[in-house]
């Protein structure tokens, strides 16, 4: 009997899950679901299969998913009612793996303790990622659980791209550029190898644009540089995070009497698109006529293009640009604006394909291929979970 695998991706206001069944040669998706808007007045619960994209699609009451705990209970009940048997293993997305984890690992109490110690490096994500681990361990103490790290894909960077220009003692304490969204980039790398092998062998930049945003340079399918660093604050501007920021700004905030907690709240919850416009959702920004909305959109596109151009240094040029994640996959206006800043590279868009969210949106005469590829972090997690399970 093929293993049945559950993968869980717990965020700050959402809980995603996937159920896969298969073996090392082929993993089939049985269910994919998510609860969004946890803690809001109208959370939403969706579940789909390949045959039934709207298997579950309902708005919940605030009490049904008022917290991550409540959302987990709801998902657990639904899974218990619909799965034909208990899963053989559970894989979890863990944003930060620190300096010691280069691949997915079986979760033990020692691993949990080490990962909880990294919470200050990813305060929006780390403890939420680990929360389902504790809940599942209490209910099924013998069920193997696997940590799948967002940082692992970027391990192996050169000293030049991994280090900061600060004293060596800090590097030895783990202060380095880790990079994030690795599960997404690993999926895109594998997708290109399977479907576009010629492009996969070239110089590729992937722009993962969502509520969190970053870009990654791929050479031969491997990460050689990325925009995020020590924490998920660095690089591109995001919905509520500033992206690249002069460290002197933080020193100035502290000089004004702001506490560590005050500064952290500003950087993680009040900055980025929200800081520029008061709006954190790109859809809301694009629908607005407010000058501040235009400023936020233009800033996001400019800084994204600037960072993509910077990654070309690691690659020695650019053959392929891939857009992925929520904004990257669905927002033609943002793709158009980003690419307009990169026309000096010989990049040309096919406007019609871009506006219909086609898979290839570059024009025939473009020197750079431009693709739109939906990411699938849960599929990567399922494969990694299966690999660890097979090694037990």
Strand order, beta sheet including 320-324? 222-226, 213-219, 203-209, 320-324, 369-372
34, 46 contact by CB (below 8 A): yes
> Given 3.60.20.10, 3.30.420.40, 3.30.499.10, 3.40.1160.10, which CATH number is that of 197-372?
3.30.420.40
Mean pLDDT of the chain: 94
- pLDDT (tens digit per residue) in 305-357: 999 999 999 999 999 999 999 999 999 999 999 999 999 999 999 999 999 99
Q: Sorting pLDDT into bands at 50, 70 and 90, what band is 84?
A: confident
Helix (H, G, I), strand (E, B) or coil at 50: coil
Q: Comparing 63-72, 93-102, 193-202, which segment has the lowest mean pLDDT?
A: 63-72
Residue corresponding to tokens 């969502």: 210
| 265-300 tens-digit pLDDT | 999 999 999 999 999 999 999 999 999 999 999 999
For residue 295, what are the contacts with CB-CB under 8 A and spacing of at least 6? 276, 277
Task: Please provide the CATH number assigned to the domain covering 4-156.
Answer: 3.30.420.40
What does the DSSP 8-state code read for residue 153?
Answer: G
pLDDT at 202 over 90: yes
Which pairing describes strands 89-94 and 4-10: parallel, antiparallel, or unpaired? parallel
Q: How much of the chain exceeds pLDDT 70, in percent?
A: 100
User: Can you give the residue ranges of every domain in the chain?
Assistant: 4-156, 197-372
Question: In angstroms, how far is CA 100 from the centroid of its own chain?
Answer: 20
Could you tell me which residues come within 8 angstroms of residue 227 by beta carbon, excluding any fewer than 6 positions away?
179, 214, 215, 216, 234, 235, 236, 243, 244, 307, 310, 311
- Examine the residue annotation and report whether 150 is marked as an active-site residue of this protein: yes
Active-site entry in 103, 150, 281, 364 = 150
Alpha-carbon distance 270 to 52, whole Å?
38
Nearest to 95 by CA among 26, 175, 184: 184
Q: What is the pLDDT of residue 116?
A: 95
Of 148, 98, 310, nearest to 215 by C-alpha is: 310
Same fold, 4-156 and 197-372: yes
Q: CA 58, CA 18: separation in Å to the nearest integer?
A: 18
- pTM for the complete prediction? 0.93
């Amino acid at each position: 009997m093929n293993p049945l695998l559950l993968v869980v991706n717990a965020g700050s206001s959402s809980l995603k899950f996937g159920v896969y069944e298969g073996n090392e040669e082929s993993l089939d998706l049985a269910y994919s679901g998510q609860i969004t808007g946890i803690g809001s007045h109208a959370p939403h619960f969706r579940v789909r299969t390949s045959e039934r994209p709207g298997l579950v699609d309902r708005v919940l009451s605030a009490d049904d998913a008022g917290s991550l705990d409540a959302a987990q209970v709801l998902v657990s009940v639904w899974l218990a009612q619909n799965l034909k048997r208990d899963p053989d293993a559970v894989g979890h997305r863990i944003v930060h793996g620190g300096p010691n984890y280069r691949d997915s690992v079986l979760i033990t109490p020692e691993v949990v303790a080490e990962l909880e110690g990294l919470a200050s490096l990813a305060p929006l994500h780390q403890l939420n990622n680990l929360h389902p681990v504790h809940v599942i361990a209490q209910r099924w103490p013998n069920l193997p659980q696997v940590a799948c790290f967002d940082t692992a894909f970027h391990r192996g960077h050169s000293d030049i791209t991994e280090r900061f220009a600060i004293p060596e003692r800090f590097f030895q304490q783990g202060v380095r550029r880790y990079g994030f969204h690795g599960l997404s980039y690993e999926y895109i790398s594998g997708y290109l190898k399977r479907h576009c092998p010629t492009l996969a062998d070239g110089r590729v930049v992937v722009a993962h644009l969502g509520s969190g945003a970053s870009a990654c340079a791929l050479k031969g399918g491997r990460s050689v540089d990325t925009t995020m660093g020590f924490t998920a604050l660095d690089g591109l501007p995001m919905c509520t995070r500033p992206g690249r920021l002069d460290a002197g700004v933080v020193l100035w905030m502290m000089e004004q009497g702001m506490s560590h907690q005050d500064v952290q709240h500003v950087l993680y919850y009040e900055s980025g698109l929200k800081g520029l416009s008061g709006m954190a959702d790109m859809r809301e920004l694009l629908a607005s006529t407010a000058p501040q909305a235009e400023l936020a959109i233009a800033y996001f596109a400019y800084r994204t293009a600037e960072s993509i151009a910077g990654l070309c240094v690691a690659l020695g040029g650019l053959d392929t640009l891939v857009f992925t994640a929520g904004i990257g996959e669905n927002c033609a206006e943002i793709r158009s604006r980003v690419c307009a800043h990169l026309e000096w590279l010989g990049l040309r868009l096919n406007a019609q394909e871009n506006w219909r969210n086609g898979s290839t949106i570059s024009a025939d005469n473009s020197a750079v291929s431009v693709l739109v590829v939906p990411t699938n972090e849960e599929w990567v997690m399922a494969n990694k979970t299966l690999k660890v399970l097979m090694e037990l």
